Amino acid sequence: MARRAAQEVNAGSMADIAFLLLIFFLVTTTIETDSGISRKLPPWQPEEQEPPVIKQRNIFTVLVNRNNELLVEDEFMEIEELRQAAFEFLDNGGGTGDEACDFCQGPGDPSSSVNPQKAIISLVNNRGTEYGTYIAVQNELVAAYNQLRDREAQRMFGKSFTQMEKDYNDPNYTGNKDKLKDQIEVIKDMIPQKLSEAEPTS
Amino acid sequence: MSKFKKKTNEGQPAISTASLPDIVFMLLFFFMVVTVMRQNTLMVQNKLPYANQVEKLDKKDLVMYIYAGKPSPRYQQRFGTEARIQLNDKFASVSEVQQFIFAERETKREELIPYLTTALKVDVETNMGLVSDIKQELRKAEALKINYTTLQGDALRNME
């Protein structure tokens, strides 16, 4: 019997196989969400300590009840207004003498905060509050801080604070990173994020 | 008898599909490379809330994940509809969170431990009671860096 020449393998179905695999990977791919609101928890303190004395005017209380309603400084408020209210509280600048705030543009209301270093936002939520609401409140409060930081960074360094942080974390940024870090620190010192969370009420 | 005889109309030649596999393979390799296989199978419902003041978590190997939410429909028969915590591949109680953190720390190099972050992937409908219980446990375990994993979007959508 004559020996046949090796037949060539038909490659016409290769595209089909590759398509099959492609569709499998397309379907199974999940783009993981890896961004979120970063927070730092206070260290655990076993014994009860005397809370430091803070003037009432420097505390901005936000209460969230089990029906996801907000009580801000003893007044009912919609979440849409929270950012502006928090911003006005931080920017009030009602201090005099040593406590004066030299960059605040607020009206200097004597019943509101003296300066952003002293101002504390206190968040109390109920055990029945929904997590989504809690995140929304957190988001608005962080936004208020960022709004003020942006304004001051723009005034002092001609660049918004969020942009500065973005540049700092960008490996391709060509500018001077050390200088940028110092500037970020200056802003953070000027307007520290003082967000305190109390134990939830039940 | 000219040499250049006008060609008789043969119709359009068929488009060659010989390069189609190459193109498809290129796409295939792209998706194979970007695919991240899920580390844990989710046993809880996990609809994340929206937020826009977010920071990115880069180093993936330095993140510990804690999931919480109602058990998925297929587990509701056995575990009920009350919100639960999921650590690795199983449901856990609040008291097991500390142990989980210590076990995770064991697997990391010592100099990296201060950079460990705990990512909380919590369903929107969970009550804050469970979340604050987790936070208390994290404080006891000295895992103070946390990140509430959220989707990019307007936070007011959470309230709907």
* pLDDT per residue as tens digits for the range A88-145: 888 887 777 777 777 888 887 888 888 888 888 888 888 888 888 888 888 888 899 9
The percentage of chain A sitting over the pLDDT mark of 70, rounded to a whole number, equals: 95
Q: For residue B85, how far is the Cα from the chain centroid?
A: 16
DSSP percent split of chain A into helix, strand, coil, nearest 5: 40, 15, 45
Could you give the C-alpha distances from A162 to A44, A193, B53, in angstroms and in order?
31, 14, 10
pLDDT tens-digit map of A152-184: 888 888 888 888 888 888 878 888 888 888 888
Higher pLDDT, B31 or B66: B66
Q: How far apart are the C-alpha atoms of A72 and B136, rounded to whole Å?
A: 25
Q: Which of A17, A19, A24, A35 to mutate to test the interface with B (most CBs of B within 10 A)?
A: A35
Cα dihedral value A123, A128, A129, A131, nearest 10: 110
Q: How far apart are the C-alpha atoms of A134 and A122, rounded to whole Å?
A: 13
Q: How far apart are the C-alpha atoms of B120 and B1, rounded to whole Å?
A: 85
ipTM comes to 0.74
* Domains located in chain B, CATH noted: 50-152 (3.30.420.270)
Chain B residues in contact with A135 by the CB 8 A cut-off are 49-51, 124, 148, 150, 155, 158
What are all long-range contacts of A44-47, with beta carbons under 8 Å and residues at least 24 apart?
A44/B139, A44/B140, A44/B142
Nearest to A143 by CA among A156, A161, A170: A161
Question: Taking 60 as the threshold, does the pLDDT of residue A199 lie above it?
Answer: yes
* DSSP-derived 3-state class of residue B160: coil
Chain B residues in contact with A42 by the CB 8 A cut-off are 139, 144
The structure tokens 């942006």 sit at A150
The structure tokens 């940024």 sit at A173
- Tokens, residue B20: 């189609």
Chain A residues in contact with B129 by the CB 8 A cut-off are 127-128, 200, 202
- Determine the pLDDT at residue B111: 86
- Domain range list for chain A: 56-197
